[in-house]
Structure 1
């Protein structure tokens, strides 16, 4: 019995095989690159097992009384949720410490009557990051973020909703610079 095939079937199987070969090549290339990649977005080396996150301190006037505590806890929570690192009180592979250095309210976007149409709340955090396995990764850097709100509202009215948004963004930026290195 002779098996008959037409050109269409042969071409189809060749294209399918070629596509599979390209996909395999690309997958191998990306999984064997220099950095460790995980689907959570981290590029942490597999030899890093622990992290110490010291309580951040307040080095500025203003802000909620629990700002540094809230910030520290959100930072710890984010690392625990998005990495396999274990929190350790001291002598860890990674260290994060720092202080809140700015809590500022400034007018932005002036109107024709020289009044601010918007006010801006900015929070600044100075961070010291130490990677004991790779000192080239260590740094000291300031992170900041802001949220604008209408002039008709007072800081007391919006502080409860703006501060968590600002903290979340600063935590994300710190994580990206320390664990994801985008």
Structure 2
């Protein structure tokens, strides 16, 4: 028996019903203002500039080139992974200031006869991050510390450059992630 309320979809009607949910989803998502980046950084879409000030080396013991290397490493990471432009303006959208407060060599492990087997270089930097745009949630005097171990039979001057090539990128990643990924 024929049902007079039976509704039959035609091929064009079926295609239309498949397209409508996709179009609605696209319309809803296009109104969002959250910026997504592949590296997990969340940057306000209105932000254009960043000022990474020279990171001063105030550690009692220090490497004279560490401040410059750390400053350049942070600048390069920000420029490579965001659309921000480095500026020296006092009122940049994002602002980093910092000082190296710790730079020390120490024993990390000793042998049974009280001789050091492993030594360690530890670097500490304090960073202040100011946001002048968006939610304006920066951070004050955040301390970041990284270290690297080496064979205690070698002198610090023999291994220092190699250790810093390990430590500096780790510190840069920590600072970048704290500022932009807010971990």
* TM-score normalised to structure 2 length: 0.79
**Could you say which residue in structure 2 is the equivalent of 1:41?**
40
- Secondary structure in 2 matching 1:37: coil
What is the distance in 2 between the residues matched to 1:105 and 1:52? 31
- Secondary structure in 1 matching 2:137: helix
| Structure 1 or 2: more helix by fraction | 1
What is the distance in 2 between the residues matched to 1:30 and 1:107? 54
Cα deviation, 1:13-40, whole Å, max 9, x if unaligned, reads xxxxxxxx8xxx7x99999877422123
Asked if 1:145 is matched to 2:146, the reply is: yes
8 Å Cα contact 1:127/1:141 also seen in 2: yes
What is the distance in 2 between the residues matched to 1:168 and 1:45? 24
**Could you say which residue in structure 2 is the equivalent of 1:11?**
none
**Could you say which residue in structure 1 is the equivalent of 2:182?**
181
- CA offset at residue 166 of structure 1? 0.4
Cα deviation, 1:103-125, whole Å, max 9, x if unaligned, reads 01110112110112110100000
* TM-score normalised to structure 1 length: 0.79
What is the distance in 2 between the residues matched to 1:29 and 1:156? 59
- Secondary structure in 1 matching 2:126: strand
Cα deviation, 1:86-143, whole Å, max 9, x if unaligned, reads 1110210000011000001110112110112110100000001000123323332000
Counterparts of 1:75-86 in structure 2 under 5 Å? 75-86=74-85
**Could you say which residue in structure 2 is the equivalent of 1:68?**
67
Structure 1 or 2, whichever has the larger Rg, is 2
Structure 1 unaligned regions, length at least 5: 1-20
8 Å Cα contact 1:31/1:37 also seen in 2: no
**Could you say which residue in structure 2 is the equivalent of 1:12?**
none
**Structure 1 stretches (4+) deviating beyond 6 angstroms?**
27-34
Counterparts of 1:154-173 in structure 2 under 5 Å? 154-173=155-174
Structure 2 unaligned regions, length at least 5: 1-20
What is the distance in 2 between the residues matched to 1:50 and 1:88? 6
